Amino acid sequence: MLEIKNLHASVDDKAILKGIDLTIGAGEIHAVMGPNGSGKSTLGGVLSGRPGYVITEGSVHFNGKDLLEMEPEERAVAGLFLGFQYPVEIPGVSNAYFMKAAVNAWRVARGEPEIDAMGFLADIRKAMEALELPTDMIHRGVNEGFSGGEKKRNEIVQMQLLKPKLSILDETDSGLDIDALKLVSNGINALRSAERSFVLITHYQRLLDYVQPDHVHVLAGGRIVRSGGEELARELEERGYGWVTGEAA
């Protein structure tokens, strides 16, 4: 599904990613953990095509295609989704209009007809109800006036509607209370399948109590310094990052 080889990236001439190797197979859930400033969000940004990063070395292939050559919207409709750490508020563009345009862009890319308005409204209503978001938000501006937790849940609503092949969730769990965390986890688990993969970028092990990862990686200083199974996350929770990053140093 995704093959990252020796990926180096910098921002404003400062090297952030210093040689990432990571292979994600179909149906797998990978957790990428690490202390602040380790490059976790940069990895999400680089994969989704956020402007501002310079790739200095390495390659990324997504289902055989050179991901780094693709525009952000081309990556999206190829099936890649980034759940934002800080979802953007866009007053004046309604959630409904935005998401319908997005869903149709994905459908058109797959050679499917555009969704009809009624069918779309039924889908978005169902997804919002599942995340316990008030359905009147459908017609409000994108994330406009949403609380931090509501914005994160709205990311999961979008993921539910788009049904990506690969979802990269950048600290979607941060700032959520325990009830919201469960809703978000349910949303992720509901999409889990043999064809879909997830990268959960997270600071804490908490989310992994609800979404069981196949692999856990620790990112520190722009490199993956340790990989393991879900037991690694628990060990990190107990012993702190110093244990692995110290070991790496």
Partner 1 sequence: MNSVALDTLENVFESGAWPSRERDWRAQALAKLQHEGFPTKRQEAWKYTDLSDLDETPWTTATVSEDAVPDVALLPDTDRVVYINGIFDAARSNLGELPAGVELNPEKLTAPAQAPVDAMSGLNIALARHGLYLHVPAGVALPRPLEILNLTSDGAGGGMHHVRHQIVLEQGASATLLDQSLSHEAAALSTQGWSIELAADAALNFTRLQDTAQTHKAVDRLHATVADGGELVANLLELGARPGRLDLHVTLDGERASAQVNSMLYAIGKSHVDHQIRIDHRAPNCVSRTQGRALAQDRGRVVLDALVHVAKGADGTDSEQQLASLLLTPGAEANVKPELEIYADDVACAHGSTIGRLDDDAEFYLRSRGLSRDEARALLTQSFVRPALRQIPAAFRATVKRHLETRLPGAAAMENFA
**Is 98 a binder of partner 1 (CB under 8 A)?**
yes
| Chain CA centroid to CA 68, Å | 17
Distance (Å, whole) CA 196 – CA 163 = 8
Distance (Å, whole) CA 226 – CA 232 = 9
The window from 57-65, 102-110, 200-208, 226-234 that contacts partner 1 (CB under 8 A) reads 102-110
Terminal Cα distance for the chain, rounded? 31
**Is 93 a binder of partner 1 (CB under 8 A)?**
yes
184-209 residues labelled b (16+ CB within 10 A) or e (exposed): bbebbeebeeeebbbbbbbbebbbbe
**Is 72 a binder of partner 1 (CB under 8 A)?**
yes
**Is 187 a binder of partner 1 (CB under 8 A)?**
no
Nearer to partner 1, 72 or 134 (CB): 72
Are 245 and 37 in contact by the 8 Å Cβ rule? The answer is: no
Binding residue for partner 1 (CB under 8 A) from 4, 28, 33, 49?
49
The window from 32-40, 91-99, 196-204, 239-247 that contacts partner 1 (CB under 8 A) reads 91-99
Are 30 and 200 in contact by the 8 Å Cβ rule? The answer is: yes
Distance (Å, whole) CA 67 – CA 165 = 14
Distance (Å, whole) CA 241 – CA 32 = 13
**Is 69 a binder of partner 1 (CB under 8 A)?**
no
Minimum distance of partner 1 from residue 50's CB (angstroms): 6
Minimum distance of partner 1 from residue 133's CB (angstroms): 17
**Is 102 a binder of partner 1 (CB under 8 A)?**
yes
Site string for partner 1, 146-185 (x = CB under 8 A): ------------x---x-----------------------
Q: List contacts with partner 1 (CB under 8 A).
A: 48-51, 71-73, 75-77, 81-82, 84, 87-88, 90-93, 97-99, 101-102, 105-106, 109, 141-142, 158, 162
